[in-house]
Chain A
Amino acid sequence: MGWDTRENLDSVLQGRGGIAICNDRSLSPEDLPVALLDWDELGKRFLGICGKENPKHYTRFEKAGILSVYEALKNSSADPADPECTLILSTTKGNVELLDHPDGFDKGRLHLWKSAQVIADFFGIKNTPVVVSNACVSGVAAMLIGRQMISSGPCKYAIVLGVDLLSRFIVSGFQSFLSLSKQACRPFDSERDGLSLGEAAACVILSRLSGGVELLSGSNISGPSRTGEGLLLAIRSTLGGQEIPKLISAHGTATPYNDEMESIAINRAGLSEVPLNSLKGYFGHTLGAAGIVESIINLEAMKQGLFPATRGFSTLGVSRKINVSNETRTGNPDTLLKIASGFGGCNAAALFKLLPWS
Chain B
Amino acid sequence: MELINNVRIAGGQVHVRGEALFSLAEKDFRSFGRSLYKYLGISYAKFYKMSALSQLGFLASEILLKDHESSGLDPGEVSLVFANSSSSLHSDVIYQESLENKPSPALFVYTLPNIVIGEICIRNGFRGEGVFFIQENFDKEFIFDHAEELISSGRSTLCLAGWLEMDMEGDYLADLSLLI
Contacts and interface: CB of A to CB of B under 8 A. Distances in A.
Question: Do A's and B's CB atoms come within 8 Å in the complex?
Answer: yes
Interface of A: 92-94, 96, 99-100, 107, 110-114, 116-117, 128, 130-135, 141, 145, 148, 152, 168-169, 172-173, 175-177, 219-225, 229-230, 233, 237, 342-346
Nearest to A112: B134
Interface in B64-105: 75-76, 80, 85-87, 89, 92-93, 95-96, 99, 102-105
Given A113-B134, A131-B133, A344 B114 contact: yes
A344 B128 contact: no
Interface in B36-79: 75-76
3 A-B pairs closest in CB distance: A222-B130, A344-B118, A223-B127
Contacts of A168: 99
Contacts of B171: none
Given A107-B168, A113-B85, A237-B155, A132 B131 contact: yes
Contacts of A233: 76, 127
Given A114-B136, A173-B108, 14 more contacts: A92-B112, A94-B87, A99-B96, A111-B89, A117-B136, A148-B149, A172-B108, A177-B108, A222-B114, A222-B130, A224-B118, A224-B121, A343-B115, A345-B122
B117 interface: yes
| Most chain A C-beta atoms within 10 Å of own C-beta, residue among B75, B109, B121, B130 | B130
Contacts of B132: 132-134
Given A169-B96, A224-B118, A346-B117, A131 B155 contact: no
B126 interface: yes
B86 A111 contact: yes
Interface string B164-178: 000010000000000
Given A219-B155, A224-B122, A346-B114, A111 B134 contact: yes
B6 interface: no
A128 B128 CA distance: 27
Contacts of A152: 145, 149
A168 B98 CA distance: 12
Given A113-B85, A221-B127, A343 B134 contact: no
B157 interface: no
A28 to B, nearest CB: 11
Nearest to B167: A111
Nearest to A173: B108
A220 B92 contact: no
A219 B154 CA distance: 12
A222 B133 contact: no
B17 to A, nearest CB: 26
Nearest to A171: B103
A222 B80 contact: yes
B179 to A, nearest CB: 16
Contacts of A237: 76, 155
B121 to A, nearest CB: 5
Contacts of B155: 219, 237
A112 B114 CA distance: 14
A336 to B, nearest CB: 21
Contacts of B135: 113, 128, 131
7 contacts: A113-B136, A133-B134, A168-B99, A175-B103, A223-B126, A224-B121, A346-B114
Nearest to A142: B131
A135 B85 CA distance: 16
A134 B75 CA distance: 20
Contacts of A107: 168
